Amino acid sequence: MKPQRTGQHEREDDPLSPLAASFYARPSPVVARDLLGRLLVEERGPGRVVGRIVESEAYEEGDPASHSFRGPTPRNSVMFGAPGRMYVYFTYGMHHCMNVVTGSDGEGSAVLLRAVEPLEGIDVMCGRRGVAARPLLCSGPGRLCQAYGVGRADNGHDLLDSASGLFIAAGDPLSREHAAAGPRVGVREAAERPWRFFEEGSVYVSRRSPGRRRPGR
């Protein structure tokens, strides 16, 4: 049960208003951390799907782990384009990963969205994923794309346009004390650039098992 939004969604204080271009036009590690707590919204399918971003990773040009490291190619060209667009690629023969292009036009930097906490449209996500357990719906880049119905066709998608039905809304940014940083997943020499950002203690992030502590000890 939500109040109807009748053309008021451009208001700055509306948590469902899309983030502006200036938000993305900053260095990717800055954007990655600032994305925590924001809302990933999709309303192109059977119902509105909303999730709170709890995990992200930054990739910079000149970073050996980044697709943009060896310069522009047909595959990664979106990464070198204007900030605020989505870079979607296919990997491991079966998974998609979605990124948000950051920095300035011509620079190959982006932020990988790794996990969100499902808030709305749980049934839609379950249907797309084929699983029911909430922590398994969007905890990982491949799962996230599947839950949101995002694929190669969305490469280059404009996130600044909320009318497109897929965008990131302002939400409620995560406070500093609840945000943690660490080495990126699957990246060699990962410790040198601790550009994975996540919400401390969230059960909706990926890779939470090692060293997991239960409350009380």
Partner DNA sequence: TGATAGATCGGCT
Partner DNA sequence: GCCGATCTATCAG
Indicate the Cα dihedral angle 124, 172, 186, 95, nearest 10°. 20
Closest CB 158 distance from DNA, rounded Å: 18
Cα–Cα distance measured from residue 53 to residue 40, given in angstroms and rounded to the nearest whole number? 7
Q: 77-92: buried (b, 16+ CB within 10 Å) or exposed (e) per residue?
A: ebbbbbbbbbbbbeee
Cα–Cα distance measured from residue 47 to residue 123, given in angstroms and rounded to the nearest whole number? 9
Binding track, positions 143-182, relative to DNA; x by CB under 7 A: xx--------------------------------------
Using CB under 7 A, count the residues that bind DNA: 39
Of the pair 16, 111, the CB lying nearest DNA is at 111
The answer to whether residue 197 forms part of the interface with DNA (CB under 7 A) is no
State whether the Cα torsion 93-143-96-32 is positive or negative.
negative
Of the pair 95, 134, the CB lying nearest DNA is at 95
Question: Using CB under 7 A, which of 3, 74, 215, 216 touches DNA?
Answer: 74
Of the pair 7, 186, the CB lying nearest DNA is at 186
List the structure tokens of 132.
């029911």
DSSP letter string, 48-107? -EEEEEEEEEEE-TT-TTSTTTT---TTTGGGGS-TTBEEEEEETTTEEEEEEE-SSTT-
Stretch near DNA under the rule CB under 7 A, chosen from 4-12, 66-74, 158-166, 167-175: 66-74
The answer to whether residue 212 forms part of the interface with DNA (CB under 7 A) is yes
What residue ranges bind DNA (CB under 7 A)? 57, 59, 65-68, 70, 73-76, 79, 87, 90-95, 97, 99, 110, 112, 129, 131, 136, 140-144, 184-187, 206, 209-210, 212
